Amino acid sequence: MLRVRDGVPTARPDTLTVEEPLEIRVAGKALSITMRTPGDDFDLAAGFLVGEGVVRAASDVHSIRYCAGATADGGNTYNVLDVVLAPGVAPPDASVERNFYTTSSCGLCGKASLDAVRTTVVWPIGDDPFRTDPATLAALPDELRAAQRVFDRTGGLHAAGLFDADGKLLCLREDVGRHNAVDKVVGWATRDGRLPLSGTVLMVSGRASFELVQKAAMAGIPLLAAVSAPSSLAVDLAAELGLTLVGFLRGTSMNVYTRPDRLRLQPS
């Protein structure tokens, strides 16, 4: 590429974030196509199905595999996954199927209806007695940034990190899309038999959208923190579900929009 500074051009190489499509199939039937950063694709598929209410535990998934024959010569692009559900697990309802591909920036594109977005939450996160200190939350953005590997080279990836109440990092995933990074974290926890994720914090590098609140709730996470702003719909859903939603988490400052009782605060 050509870098221009003060009108002076300099040719130099650059490292870019990889973005490729991933088609997720269930029992051979296409469910969704999402633009993602390759890597941890099995976690991405499992986490996606948790968010859709199809999968609740590792035992709900029989197998996940890449589909061969994706190219004209019968090769494998590693961009098509087929998930086989365990016997007795219901396939995705037609109402949650994506009508067209999901972009890396919007996990809700193509939803059949807004009603389908409000997936039934399995875990009663409103009853989770989890509590933590503001100082612990304040340290999470730096912990997340320090653990990011690809961002240091490209500057173009979102991150999602799962932490315990003491701020210990349990899992970190990166992706070009915020929702994909969260799906990868939830999928890791699902495949490792950790659901529900009670007593944990999900930290995301961008804003807090409606869908990220839903994904956290579907995994049983009681607190979602973001370095940027939440949407009004995200706040509404968090309040409805009893999830603690923290936004603008920067330095020692933060905005707590719902369930502030989970933070050990000093008297005002």
Annotated catalytic residue: which of 67, 106, 109, 171? Answer: 106
Counting Cα atoms < 13 Å in the Cβ hemisphere of 51 gives: 27
Tell me the pairing of strands 2-5 and 8-11.
Answer: antiparallel
Q: CB under 8 Å to 185, separation ≥6 — which residues? A: 43, 47, 160, 161, 162, 171, 172, 173, 202
- CATH code of the region 20-106: 3.10.20.10
pLDDT on residue 103 = 53
Question: H or E stretch including 110?
Answer: none
Q: Do domains 20-106 and 125-262 have the same CATH topology?
A: no
pLDDT on residue 114 = 43
Token pair of 152, please?
A: 């240091």
With tokens 């999901």, the residue in question is 102
- Establish whether 106 is a catalytic residue: yes
pLDDT on residue 2 = 61
Counting Cα atoms < 13 Å in the Cβ hemisphere of 181 gives: 28
pLDDT on residue 90 = 93
Q: Which residues of the chain have pLDDT under 70?
A: 2, 4, 6-7, 9, 16, 69-75, 94-119, 150-156, 268
Distance of CA 265 to the CA centre of its chain: 28
Please report, for the chain, the start and end positions of each structural domain, with discontinuous segments joined by +: 20-106, 125-262
pLDDT on residue 210 = 87
Q: What is the value of pTM for the model shown?
A: 0.84
How many secondary structure helices (H) and strands (E) does the chain include? 8, 12
User: Angle CA(66)–CA(70)–CA(75) in degrees, nearest 5?
Assistant: 90
- CATH code of the region 125-262: 3.40.140.10
Q: Contact at 8 Å (CB) between 180 and 205?
A: no
pLDDT on residue 220 = 97
Rg (CA), the chain: 19
Q: CB under 8 Å to 155, separation ≥6 — which residues? A: none
